[in-house]
Amino acid sequence: MQFAKFVVTRIIAYILVIWIGITVVFFVPRFMPSDPVEAMLGRIMTRGAYMEAEQVEAMRATLTQAFGLEGTLAEQYFGFFQRTFVTREFGPSLSMFPTPVNELIGRALPWTLALLLSSTIIAWIVGNAIGLLAGYKSRWISSRTLEIIAIFVYPIPYYITALILIILFIHINPIFPLFFSVQGEAWSWEFVSSAVYNSVLPALSIVIVGFGWWVLSMKALSSSISEEDFVYFAKLKGAGEGRIMTAYVLRNAILPQVTVLALQIGAIFNGALITEILFSYPGLGTMTYNAVLQADYNLLMGTITISIIAVATSTLIIDLLYPFFDPRIRQR
Amino acid sequence: MYKKHSKILFSVFLLALVILPSTAVVSAQDTTEVGTPRATTLIVDQLDGRIDNPTQTNPYQAGTRFNQGLHQLAYSNMWEINTATGEQFPGLAAEMPEALNDDYTSFRITLRENLAWSDGEPITTADMAFTIDMVLNTPEFPYHGFLSQVVDSYEVVDDLTMILNTKRSEPRLGYTLGVHIWGDAFRLVPKHIWENEDPATFQNYPPVVSGPYTLTDVDPNGNWFLYTKRADWENTDVGQIFGEPGPEYVLFRFYGTEERRIIAGIQNQLDIFTDISPEAWDILRDANPNARAWHEDFPWANFDDPCERGIVFSNTQEPWDNQNVRWAVALATDIKSVGLATFAGILRVSPLAVPPVQVIHDAFHKPMREWMTEFAFEDGYQPFDPNYAVDIAAILADQGVEGLPADEDALVDLFGVGWWKHDPDKATEMLQAEGFTLENGAWHKPDGSPWQITINSPSNFEVQSQRLAFAVADNWRAFGIDATVQQMDSGTFWSNYSRGEFDAGSYWPGCGALPDSWDLLDAFWHKRHIVPIGQPAPGNAMRYDSDALSGILDQIAPLPSDHPDTIPLLTEFEKQFIVERPWLPMFGTSKFVPVITTYWDGLPTADYFYEGPWWWWSLFKYHMPFIQPKGDG
Amino acid sequence: MRNSNPRLRVGIVILAAFILLGGILPFFSPEDPRAWIRHPRNLPPSAEHLLGTTNLGQDTFWLLSYATQNSLFIGVFVAFFATLIGVFAGLAAGFLGGVPDRIITLFADVFIVVPSLPILILMSSLLQGRASLVLISIILILFNWPWPARQMRSIALSMRERQFVNTARFSGSGTFTILAEEIAPHIFSWAMANFVNTVLVAIATESGLAVIGLSSLEEATLGTMIYWALQHQALLGQRWWWIGSPVVAIIVLFICLFLLSTGIANLSAERRGHGDA
């Protein structure tokens, strides 16, 4: 019963979070000094075509109507919710009119998910393993060395890591392709292998930057837990070192780390933005950045709405699974 | 146990680092990534970056992109421009439009013989009529508004001849429906393909086109576009005018940030660059002996890009509504330090409202140099400094730059006719006369408030204007004005400009490729375009309301380009422009557009100048017959 | 302080060097190092220019000192307030439960699920580029407090069930006393790690914004220094003094902060009588 009540309140919170988040993202760009019609007109006019005042006016009216930007803000707002949750589509992209946003996102999303989920999880596993060793067995040379490596690579900003990787592995020693280029039919061996091959460097830059933080935070957690009384008693009881490390230290230290991993999914968009731009990687990050630049409301709402729903859902799942991770927690 | 674990983990990690690279297939240099032979594939830098909608090739939809080769290679225009001579010439058309009456409202247009679409069907006036009707009947197209104000009616005479009647006088129909700069939106489409489609939603992929190349493959992610030479290239305007195009394939490719484009050039994986910075050019030149810029030596860059850069004022807002204030900030600007900080001094100055491209430089800047030197304010002060070219050459020679010309005429040709003096004392005097005060090294406006200037600048696009904004702000701060740069994305940058919601900005309302730039000057300066601040302006975004300037423009409007009064009247306009100083042009645009000659002969340079290096303009297709694979002669 | 805590000392020494570089030296600068074309461009290091000059004719050393000052300001300002707000909000949510928990969690979740970089880009476009470093810092705080809050909440949830807290509760201590006396020491080393992380996240986010041209670029920060160096191709042009200075500064700064935080953690562990870890 208690658990059922917890689930219900948590789901209500989940819906509230999504609603507030989407509302914020709906209104913020609309207070921006630029608007998509002007951005498009600017682009058309800087191409040098000469136009009279009336011609520009006519074109402006055409675009405003085609973009669906007529009507009050409230009408647009309800229109958006209706369109998104009833017909499940985000409308046409404004900067790439009339290509539908769904089509653009459908093409970019798998790339971003594949790159960022795999590299985030690799960084998490490697980082936590090293962090656990460093925290629990801090006198070992190997764990100290790994910890020091983590300290040194962790603070280097994404783009510096990326640039150094580009210089090392593309320029000086060209073992990776300069450009992102995937060959073959979808899901053929050639396609998959070239996709993986092309993704190694971007993934590596994320893993390098990501794993340092897991090492450091895991180390801090596990070393403080190692000093807890229950670990001390376990040692007195004669439990094996391996068992202490996994059953006592890891078990207690992993919970905050799982929480943060779930939250990391939200950071996917931030990581994606810079990494994807530097590696010309075909994902949502570059698309979102361009959408902001071009004031492409529909595309922006599409990418951000999807990310909000994805992150909110993953935190919801983590929350619901909490009691199974840590039976000591009794939901009220 | 755990010791083993840690070792296993560690070795897996190292193994991953080592194995992943070695399993990778390094593609051979003799084929490109898309499988075409490298020696016959011309690889071109993609100006607009990645194109997220690569298969949207309907040329009339609002969001269709063109700089990925679509308008350079696939679509031919009715009338094109030759940037070497600065003249228009017929492309798909057989002749320039022939005016049938003195009002310039009726024209005879003829098409070239034996033109064919890429599927083999002939190009006729039926296609032209279909295209006009389609645009006029499809209000969803942004171009619909434009064309419906131009075309009144048409009459198909035969397969190659059409009479076109316009709604108003069009003495420059070649500009209206043909290329002046960059390209033109009027693109013929094949009737037999389009007549059964809904034009507003038709994707048009793969497109059936009129140009010498067809789009044969695209990257679903929009990073590359492959064009293949048409077997029937003789049935295109390019083939008929200049002969067979050299490259079998043209690959437009986006490699990413400037670093990666440079590395691509060093590795001979990019033959033609769009815009790079002077620092990037230094690196490329040192690393690839086959890299060649427009000039063999200093200044390397091409100075003929058709827009000049400078600082724009919002002329209806105080204090910019005061002519003397605009002049004072001009004299507070040290043009040499601005030039050095912007592009290491590799720039040509311009004091006029039209850019210092060669044809215009010869037609206006140089003839007007003497007048400018003599030009004086009412108090007799002569603001012009004709010695800029000589002085900047001395500074550059000091920094070890080699290959500078010795005589003054050559230096003026290179660095420009001169600019306004850097005279902070005179600027101070002029500002104080207007009631400005200098307190503790900081300028205050007549109402006593500190004088703050915000200069809008592009963020990470149009690098020259971006750097110029920072350099000018730096100068003005040194003079005691609290100037800051506000970088903006392109959407904000342009909509603030158009709404007049800015203070100052590094915009570029000074464009033109031909001596007669009336169309552009009129759009930038005629008072009839002015709308209140807050509303998007159709032109004259600086909102400069001058009867004198507008009056001269009205006199030029009915004259065709070759009329004997056109150039003298435009010169009058320039003189009035200097007196009123409604914006502060500084430099022409320096384009570092290098090429890599490892695989190709005949890429245009200053020594082999058949066309300007504007790879992102529609005229690029006319380069093709000149560009030949190395070794084939 | 025992000899067994060398980390703290090394950390303090490096931090002192940074405070000298960023906190004190800027006041002795002979010029405003942000101004362009004051010196010949691209000079190598010399007695006159300790780290040479940039392609924009600035003195790299003085520029670095200004940059360090501003970056330290952003990092510490953001990390301090984000950690403070996050820890108290998280503890409150975890221990109080009920309605406060739900409200705090709701707000934290909203900021977590909204991707921050697009919003930061939108904001800086809204703020018309007059975005000062303080404003950028406040936006960064807005997006950084929910992280410690979430983690603190889960730590609080697990601690609430632990023996020593129950003991304290049975002995009649109030919630605040429990927080201050029993729990704070346990979370201190974690909070320090979070603080260190947030300093770096703040500096890295600011420089990330700078790289796409959206920070306050006329201000010198370690991020904008990297931005200008990259804009002028210092990396491929091998102008290591210019591009290297801010990168090395960021790395050393972090290592220093890390040593400090672990040093402090060890110190608090000693105080609690558990011996050196």
Question: DSSP readout, B422-491?
Answer: --HHHHHHHHHHTT-EEETTEEE-TTSSB-EEEEEEESSSSHHHHHHHHHHHHHHHHHT-EEEEEEE-HH
Mean pLDDT taken over chain C: 80
For residue A58, CA distances in Å to A52, A63, A64, A66 come to 10, 9, 10, 12
Q: Is A238 helix (H, G, I), strand (E, B) or coil?
A: coil
Domain ranges for chain C: 6-25+51-272
C19 half-sphere exposure, CB direction, 13 A CA radius: 9
Scanning C138-177 for CB atoms below 8 A from B yields: none
Give DSSP secondary structure letters for C151-183.
HHHHHHHHHHTSHHHHHHHHTT--HHHIIIIII
Q: How confident is the model at residue C212 (pLDDT cuts 50, 70, 90)?
A: low
Subunits touching B (CB < 8 Å, at least 3 pairs)?
A: A, C
Q: Are C233 and B278 in contact (CB under 8 A)?
A: no
A7 or C179, greater pLDDT: A7
Q: Tokens for B367?
A: 């003839």
Number of residues assigned to chain A: 332
Mean pLDDT taken over chain A: 77
Residue pointed to by tokens 């010399």: C46
Residues of chain B contacting residue A51, judged by C-beta atoms under 8 Å apart? 146, 523, 538
Q: CA B304, CA B309: separation in Å to the nearest integer?
A: 13
pLDDT at B199: 94
Mean pLDDT in residue range A16-40: 79
For residue A46, how many other CB atoms are within 10 A of its CB?
16
CB pairs < 8 Å spanning A and C: 172
CA nearest B128: which of B160, B166, B100? B160
Q: Is the CB of residue C119 less than 8 Å away from at least one CB of chain A?
A: yes
pLDDT at B21: 42
Mean pLDDT in residue range A247-264: 75
Q: CA B12, CA A214: separation in Å to the nearest integer?
A: 18
Q: Tokens for C51?
A: 């780290």
Q: Are B361 and B369 in contact (CB under 8 A)?
A: no
Residues of chain A contacting residue B501, judged by C-beta atoms under 8 Å apart? 33
Scanning A256-285 for CB atoms below 8 A from C yields: 256, 259-260, 263, 266-270, 273-274, 277
Q: Tokens for B457?
A: 């600048």
For residue A247, CA distances in Å to A224, A233, A236, A252, B117 come to 15, 13, 15, 8, 74
Helix axes C184-211, C116-126, angle to 10 degrees: 60
Q: In B117-169, where do the E strands start and end? A: 151-158, 161-166
- Chosen for mutation from A50, A198, A211, A276 (greatest number of chain B CBs closer than 10 Å) is A50
Q: Tokens for B40?
A: 């016959």
* CA angle, residues A75, A78, A79, in degrees to nearest 5: 80
Render pLDDT for C38-64 as a digit per residue (tens, 0 to 9).
888 888 899 889 999 998 889 999 999
pLDDT at A155: 65
Q: Are B133 and B81 in contact (CB under 8 A)?
A: no
Check whether A273 has a pLDDT greater than 80. no
Alpha helices in A176-296 (DSSP H): 189-226, 229-237, 241-243, 251-279, 284-293
CA nearest B541: which of A126, A135, A42, C37? A42
CA nearest B388: which of B361, B350, B344? B350
Least confident of A156-170, A195-209, B62-76, B165-179: A156-170
Q: Are A263 and A315 in contact (CB under 8 A)?
A: yes
Q: Is B411 helix (H, G, I), strand (E, B) or coil?
A: helix
Cross-strand pairs, B309: B587
Residue pointed to by tokens 């309301």: B545
Q: Are B513 and B181 in contact (CB under 8 A)?
A: yes
pLDDT at B480: 94
- What backbone torsions phi and psi does residue B250 show, to the nearest 5 degrees? -125, 125
Q: Who's near B186: CB < 8 A, 6+ residues apart?
A: B77, B78, B131, B143, B147, B177, B178
Spell out, as residue ranges, where chain B has pLDDT lower than 50. 1-28, 633
pLDDT at A249: 76
Q: Who's near C148: CB < 8 A, 6+ residues apart?
A: C82, C83, C86, C87, C90, C191, C194, C198
Measured in angstroms, the CA of C269 and the nearest CA of chain A are apart by 8
B97, B102, B106, B110 alpha-carbon torsion, rounded to 10°? -30
Q: Do C204 and A33 touch (CB under 8 A)?
A: no
Q: CATH for C6-25+51-272?
A: 1.10.3720.10
Cross-strand pairs, B217: B226
Check whether C144 has a pLDDT greater than 60. yes
Q: Tokens for A245?
A: 């490390």
Check whether C160 has a pLDDT greater than 80. no
Q: Do A55 and B146 touch (CB under 8 A)?
A: yes
Q: CA A122, CA A99: separation in Å to the nearest integer?
A: 35
Residues of chain A contacting residue B141, judged by C-beta atoms under 8 Å apart? 62
pLDDT at C125: 61
Q: Is the CB of residue A222 less than 8 Å away from at least one CB of chain B?
A: no
Q: Is the CB of residue B487 less than 8 Å away from at least one CB of chain A?
A: no
Measured in angstroms, the CA of C112 and the nearest CA of chain A are apart by 6
Residues of chain C contacting residue A152, judged by C-beta atoms under 8 Å apart? 251, 255
Q: CA A157, CA A153: separation in Å to the nearest integer?
A: 9
Alpha helices in B249-387 (DSSP H): 258-266, 278-287, 323-331, 335-343, 358-360, 369-374
Give DSSP secondary structure letters for C86-102.
HHHHHHHHHHH-HHHHH
Q: What is the 8-class DSSP label of residue B157?
A: E
CA nearest A104: which of A290, A265, A280? A290
pLDDT at C126: 63
Identify the helix (H) or strand (E) that includes residue C7: helix C6-18
Of B52, B180, B489, nearest to A293 by CB-CB distance is B489
Cis peptide leading into residue B319 (ω within 30°): yes
Q: Are B430 and B331 in contact (CB under 8 A)?
A: yes
Subunits touching A (CB < 8 Å, at least 3 pairs)?
A: B, C
Scanning B506-535 for CB atoms below 8 A from A yields: 511, 519-520, 523, 528-529
Render pLDDT for C8-45 as a digit per residue (tens, 0 to 9).
888 889 989 998 998 888 888 888 888 888 888 888 89
Residues of chain C contacting residue B460, judged by C-beta atoms under 8 Å apart? 212-213
Q: Tokens for B342?
A: 């912007």
Q: Are B308 and B607 in contact (CB under 8 A)?
A: no
- Chosen for mutation from B15, B47, B53, B204 (greatest number of chain A CBs closer than 10 Å) is B53
Check whether C1 has a pLDDT greater than 50. no
Determine the residue of chain C that is closest to B286 in CA distance. Answer: C237
Q: Do A308 and C105 touch (CB under 8 A)?
A: no
Number of residues assigned to chain C: 277
pTM for the structure as a whole: 0.84
CA B117, distance to chain mean position in Å, is 29
